Amino acid sequence: MNRRSLLLALAALPAAEPALAQDSSAAGSAKHLTPPQAAAFGKALEKDLATRGGRVAMVFRSGRARRSMPEGLSYTHGAFWVYRDIKTDGGQLKGYAVYNLYQGDGKALPKDRSSLVQDWPTNFMQGSVEDDVAVILPTPEMQRRLLAVIDSPTYAAMHIPSYGLVANPFESRHQNCNTFVLDIVACAAWQTNDPDQVRVNLRKWFKPSVIKVDPLTRLIGPMLDGRLAVDDQDGPIVTAAYESIAPFMADNALSATSYSFQRPG
């Protein structure tokens, strides 16, 4: 980058600020809910899902404060909540297990890589910085198909370890939690385990979320952080989010309902 570009970049950054509306709340994000509050939030949603007879749901939390989210997006991390028999040290219980794609922590796994991890509702809620989550409850048949995929080798086979914060759902280069959720939904909807067929189908039927980013940010971001990779984007930056997955499922009769669930007072 030459001197002129640097000056242009410096000049452009303040202009970008209002659109980006970032803040420094990320460091405190995990402390929004105390462990008991996160546990109560998780248990309340478990009971809501159970009352609805939901065996498989997709739940989305806000891991960033709303005011720092890209325009039009309210939720960040999505995962499957699956009704399970849970083996404990003392016996067996019934409740929900959470199936996530997590990016690396930078220690055991580089931050630009991801792994599939099963944990529990309390873990999920501890990452929320808001007092609501979004839920998509698939139709009964889609729940049946999703469970079949989650419990099959297809689930792990659809994982793309290269992590991208704005992974393109139409490409197989990077993946994040939400594009992974979408891929599994696609496998269930079309009853396929062929990643290429999934891409072709999504290109035809899925309308992605568009992330508005100025050219400078788009240019510099990926140079500084591997998670900001945009080498799978050939136009506007597109990815998957609750705001695009929910309409896709509703429009194609894959979901019974979607709703916001508030943390009980």
Partner 1 sequence: MRLAILPITALIFAAPALAQADSVTNYSTASDQSAQAVSAFAEAGVKTVAGVVALPLMVAAGGSAAVGSTAQGVGDSSMALADGTSQAGSDAADFSGQPLTVTDRVVLAPQPAPVVPYEVQKPK
Contacts of partner 1 in 56-115 (CB under 8 A) = 63-64, 68-70, 73, 76-77, 82-90, 92-97, 99-103, 105, 114-115
- β partners of residue 79: 59
Q: Which two tokens stand for residue 19?
A: 């659109």
Nearest to 207 by CA among 170, 156, 262: 170
Shorter beta-carbon distance to partner 1: residue 200 or 220: 220
Tokens of 107: 């220690």
Q: Which is nearer to partner 1, 199 or 227 (CB)?
A: 227
What's the rounded Cα separation, in Å, for the pair 78 and 108?
22
Footprint of partner 1 on 203-222 (CB under 8 A): 209, 211-214, 216-217, 220-221
Of residues 1-40, which lie at the interface with partner 1 (CB under 8 A)? 6, 9-10, 13, 16-17, 19-23, 30-31, 34-36, 39-40
User: Footprint of partner 1 on residues 147-186 (CB under 8 A)?
Assistant: 147-156, 159, 163, 165-167, 176-178
**Distance separating alpha carbons of residues 69 and 80, to the nearest angstrom:** 22
Q: Note whether 222 and 56 are within 8 A (CB).
A: no
Binding pattern for the stretch 230-249 against partner 1, x by CB under 8 A and - elsewhere: x------x-x-x--------
Task: Name which position in 11, 66, 203, 225 contacts partner 1 (CB under 8 A).
Answer: 225
Nearest approach, Cβ of 89 to partner 1 (angstroms)? 6
Beta bridge partners, 81, equal: 57, 98
Least separation in angstroms between residue 237's CB and partner 1 is 7
Cβ atoms within 10 Å of 1's Cβ, excluding its own: 10
Site size toward partner 1 (CB under 8 A) is 111
Torsions phi, psi for 241 (to 5 deg): -155, 170
